[in-house]
Structure 1
Amino acid sequence: MLHAQVFVRDANYRKENLYCEVCPEDRPLIVQFCANDPEVFVQAALLAQDYCDAIDLNLGCPQMIAKRGHYGAFLQDEWDLLQRMILLAHEKLSVPVTCKIRVFPEIDKTVRYAQMLEKAGCQLLTVHGRTKEQKGPLSGAASWEHIKAVRKAVAIPVFANGNIQCLQDVERCLRDTGVQGVMSAEGNLHNPALFEGRSPAVWELAEEYLDIVREHPCPLSYVRAHLFKLWHHTLQVYQQLREELAKVKTLEGIAAVSQELKLRCQEEISRQEGAKPTGDLPFHWICQPYIRPGPREGSKERAGARSKRALEEEECGTEVLSKNKQKKQLRNPHKTFDPSLKRRWPVHKQLPRQPGASSPRLPHCPLGHRMRQLGEAGTKYAKCDQCGNPKGNRCVFSLCRGCCKKRASKETADCPGHGLLFKTKLEKSLAWKEAQPELQEPQPAAPGTPGGFSEVMGSALA
C-alpha cells in the first residue's frame, strides 16, 4: 500500500516503491493507494498507471495509523467522498480502478456499499469479511455470508479475503461464496506454498527466499519481516535466535541466523525419531498458519499456547519495552525509560513585574517555550499510584494513562476517562460472533494430513 499524497510530492518515494526495475513475474501488478482526497488520489494514480495494470483504493485498513490519517476502513461511512474518488479515477485513468473493502455488521448495508462502488466505476472488488473493529485479538472469523451476498448483488468480479489458511480453505471459499478469486494475507506470509497445497519445511522456503533477495536486493527490514513470519513458530522455541534475528545488520548475518535455526530443527527432528513428540509446538519447523488467540484467550495466558510477549516477560522477568523503545535503546544503550529516573525541569518562580510591562516576566525556559506562570509552591497534582506520573482526573483506576491501559487490558475493563474500551470491544466482538452462527473458525492442518508432518519428514532429514 502506497500513500497517495507522499507518492505525488516525493520523487524518491516513487523511485523506491515503483519506478524501479521489476521482474516479468511481477506482472500483472495492481498498485494500491490509501487516500482521502479525489484530486490527490487521481494525481498519484496518473503517475503510477504506466507502471502497473490496475489502481486499487484501500478501503479496508483497520489500523490506528489509518484512523489517524483518515483513510482505509475509516472512510467506509463517507459514501459521497468515495463516489467522487472512484468516479474521477474511472474517468481519468487508462487502467481499471479496483477497491478493497471491509464489511459492515449488516449484510444489506454491505451489499448497498458494494453496489455504490460498482456504480461509481469500480471494476473489481475485494471483500474482507470482517468489520473494521475485528482486528488483533478481536479478529474472530470472517463472514463468508457477507461476501456471498455481495457476489450475488454485483456484476463485477469479486475476490474473497479472510479465513484462508490452507489450499482446502481456498477451494471451500470458492465453492461456498461463488467468488472469482481468493486473497490470502497472513496465511500466505506464514506459508508461501499455500496455493500449491504444500506445507514444506520452513528452511526450504527461507533459503529460496534469500536466494531471490540476493538476485533482487531489497531493504533489510523487508527481509527480516518475511523471515519473522516464516520462522514464527520456531522462534517461539528458540527465543535467543529471535533476538539475534532482530538485531543483525547484514543480509549474510540474517542468512546465518536462518541456517542456525535450520540446524537446530534438524537436530530436534533426529532426537524425536522413533519417539512421541512433546511440547506445545512439536512440528514447529513446518510452514503452518498462525491462529490468533480469540478475545477471551487474548486477555489471559492460555494453557499450552502462550503468546510471544508472555514468553518474553517470562524470560526477562521484567516489563518488555515496546518496539519503538527497543529501537531507541539500540541507538542509545544508556537510555532509560524508567519514569522515576527521567529529568524533571525545576519549577520557575514568577519574577517581579517590570515597570511598563504588560505581564510578569518569566526567566529563560530550558524547554525553549514559554512555561505557565507558577507560584513559589509549584503546581500540585495527584500522582499515579504505580509510577508517580500525574493520574487522570477521570480515570476509574486513579492511574495515569499508561498504567491504566495496562490494567484495563489485563482485566478487560473500560476507562471512559482515558478513552479505553476493552470491555465494550470484547462484548461487541462476542455479540457479532453469536449473531453469525454459520461462521466456521479456520482449523490448522493436522500433522499426517496432506501437507502435514509425514509429508515433510523425508526432506527435513535430507
Structure 2
Amino acid sequence: MEKLGGYDFYRSIGSPKWICGPMVDASELAFRMLVRRYGVELAYTPMLNSKQFTKNTKLRNTIFTTCDGDRPLVAQFAGDCPDILLEAAKLVEGSVDAVDINFGCPQHIAKRGHYGAYLQDEWDLMRSLISTLHQNLSVPVWCKIRVFPELEKSIAYAQMIEDSGSQVLAVHGRTRDSKGRNAGPADWNVIREIKKNVSVPVIANGDAVSLEAAEDCLSFTGCDGVMAAYPLLVNPTMFSGESKPDAFAVAREYLDLAEKYLTPTWQIRGHIFKLLKGHILGQDDIIRTYGAAQNAHDYRQATLVRRFFEGPRSTPRCTQVFEKLGLWLFTIDVLNHVEPGT
C-alpha cells in the first residue's frame, strides 16, 4: 500500500490541532496518556538520541514505551548519521504514526552532540537525513525546526526541508540563539510566512501558554496545529480550557498512570514538582516526603495529605532542602530539557 504523505496523511490521523511536543524525560507514556484525556490530539515521544537508542537495549526499553491508546504518536529522534538515524527509526516504525527529526534543539548538549538546531547550516547533511528516512520508512518523516533571523532564509530553509521529503513541519518561532534568558517572544509572523510558502501541514510552536493563546496562534498563523510543551507540564489540562485545575487531583491522576505504565521514579519526580511547585514551596515536611519517595505509591500518599500544604510559604531553610535533595527541576531541568517558550 502506498505511503500517505502531506495533507492526506494528516487527515488520516484526524487533522490534530492540539499537540504535546517532545520533551526529554517528560513526554513519556504516562504523561502522554494524561494530556490525551484533556484535549491533546497528537503527542510526541521524548527526544531520542539515535546512537544511544540503537546501542542500548535497556535504555531503549525504558525511554520508549507505548500502548494501544497512545495514538496518534510521533517518535522524535536526534542524530547526524543517516544510517544510524534510519536504524533507530526502524526499531519503532511499527508502533508510531510518524518519525520526526529534531532540527530544533538549541541546547549546549545538542551542540556537543552535533544534532538539533546545530545542523541548520548543513543543508546537504539535512537533506540526506530526511531523504534517507523518507525513502526507507513505512511511515512519514516529519521535521521540527527553528527559524533564522532572516525571513527569506527561513522560508528557503522550510522549502528545502519539504523538498527533501518532510511531510509535516513543526516550526518553533525562535532562532537557535533565542534560548534561556535570551529567549524573547516567539515570532508568529515568520511561522505564518513559512505556512504560506510550503504545501505540507505546518504546526506552530512557541508561546502557546494557554488554550486562548493557542487559539490566537492558530488564527494568526493559519497553521494546521499548535504545539505546547512546558505549559502542559505546569497544566496538563491546558488544551481542555481548564485554567486553574485542582493540581493535587491532576497529580494523583498522573500517578495512577505512572504506576500503571511502570514509569521510572526520576520521571515521576520531575512531573510532580512541576505540577505542585506553587503549593509546596516553603513546605519543608512535604519537600522531604517527596524527596524520599521511591515510587508512584509514595508520591500518591504524599499528595493525599493536605495538611502539609497549609503552612507558611518560602523560607531559607526550604531553599536549602531543595538544594540538598537536588530538586532544582524548576530551573535547570526546564532549561536543559524543554525548549523555552514551547
TM-score range, shorter chain: 0.7 to 0.9
| Structure possessing the higher radius of gyration over alpha carbons | 1
Given candidates 17, 23, 31, the residue that maps to 2:75 is 31
Given candidates 150, 159, 169, the residue that maps to 2:213 is 169
Given candidates 75, 86, 100, the residue that maps to 1:56 is 100
- Residue matched to 1:250: 295
Q: Decide whether the 8 Å contact of 1:312 with 1:320 is kept in 2.
A: no
Q: Decide whether the 8 Å contact of 1:87 with 1:120 is kept in 2.
A: yes
Higher relative contact order at CA 8 Å, sep ≥6: structure 1 or structure 2?
2
Following TM superposition, the consecutive aligned residue runs of length 4 or more in structure 1 with deviations greater than 6 angstroms are none
For 2:113 and 2:97, locate their aligned partners in 1 and report how far apart those are by CA, in whole Å: 27
Other structure's SS at 2:75 match = strand
In the alignment, structure 1 residue 178 sits paired with structure 2 residue 222: yes
Opposite residue 257 of structure 1, the aligned amino acid is A
Given candidates 247, 259, 266, the residue that maps to 1:214 is 259
Other structure's SS at 1:58 match = strand
How many matched pairs?
A: 283
Opposite residue 226 of structure 1, the aligned amino acid is H
For 2:219 and 2:284, locate their aligned partners in 1 and report how far apart those are by CA, in whole Å: 41
Given candidates 42, 47, 52, the residue that maps to 1:6 is 52
Gaps (5+ residues) in structure 2? 1-46, 329-340
Given candidates 134, 142, 151, the residue that maps to 1:107 is 151
With over 3 angstroms needed to count, the CA separation of the structure-2 counterparts of 1:120 and 1:314, relative to structure 1, is same
* Structure with more of its chain in strand, by fraction: 2
Q: Decide whether the 8 Å contact of 2:285 with 2:308 is kept in 1.
A: no
Q: Decide whether the 8 Å contact of 1:161 with 1:183 is kept in 2.
A: yes
For 2:308 and 2:69, locate their aligned partners in 1 and report how far apart those are by CA, in whole Å: 34
With over 3 angstroms needed to count, the CA separation of the structure-2 counterparts of 1:322 and 1:131, relative to structure 1, is farther
With over 3 angstroms needed to count, the CA separation of the structure-2 counterparts of 1:321 and 1:263, relative to structure 1, is closer
In the alignment, structure 1 residue 16 sits paired with structure 2 residue 82: no
Cα deviation for residue 243 of structure 1 reads: 4.3
Cα deviation for residue 160 of structure 1 reads: 0.7
For 2:116 and 2:211, locate their aligned partners in 1 and report how far apart those are by CA, in whole Å: 28
Cα deviation for residue 55 of structure 1 reads: 0.6
With over 3 angstroms needed to count, the CA separation of the structure-2 counterparts of 1:51 and 1:145, relative to structure 1, is same
Opposite residue 55 of structure 2, the aligned amino acid is R
For 1:314 and 1:227, locate their aligned partners in 2 and report how far apart those are by CA, in whole Å: 17
Given candidates 249, 252, 255, the residue that maps to 1:204 is 249
Opposite residue 265 of structure 2, the aligned amino acid is L
- Residue matched to 2:193: 149
For 1:79 and 1:214, locate their aligned partners in 2 and report how far apart those are by CA, in whole Å: 43
- Normalised by the length of structure 2, the TM-score is 0.76
Other structure's SS at 2:91 match = helix
With over 3 angstroms needed to count, the CA separation of the structure-2 counterparts of 1:149 and 1:249, relative to structure 1, is same
Query: What do the CA deviations read for 1:118-140 (whole angstroms, capped 9, x no partner)?
Result: 00000000011111222222222
Gaps (5+ residues) in structure 1? 269-278, 282-307, 327-440, 443-462
Greater shift, 1-10 or 175-184, is seen at: 1-10
Amino-acid identity (%): 39
Q: Decide whether the 8 Å contact of 1:59 with 1:102 is kept in 2.
A: yes
- Coordinate RMSD, CA, aligned: 2.7
- Normalised by the length of structure 1, the TM-score is 0.57
Q: Decide whether the 8 Å contact of 2:192 with 2:223 is kept in 1.
A: yes
Q: Decide whether the 8 Å contact of 2:286 with 2:308 is kept in 1.
A: no
For 2:135 and 2:129, locate their aligned partners in 1 and report how far apart those are by CA, in whole Å: 10
Map 1:362-441; keep pairs closer than 5 Å: none
Cα deviation for residue 232 of structure 1 reads: 1.8
With over 3 angstroms needed to count, the CA separation of the structure-2 counterparts of 1:149 and 1:240, relative to structure 1, is farther
In the alignment, structure 1 residue 66 sits paired with structure 2 residue 118: no
With over 3 angstroms needed to count, the CA separation of the structure-2 counterparts of 1:175 and 1:119, relative to structure 1, is same
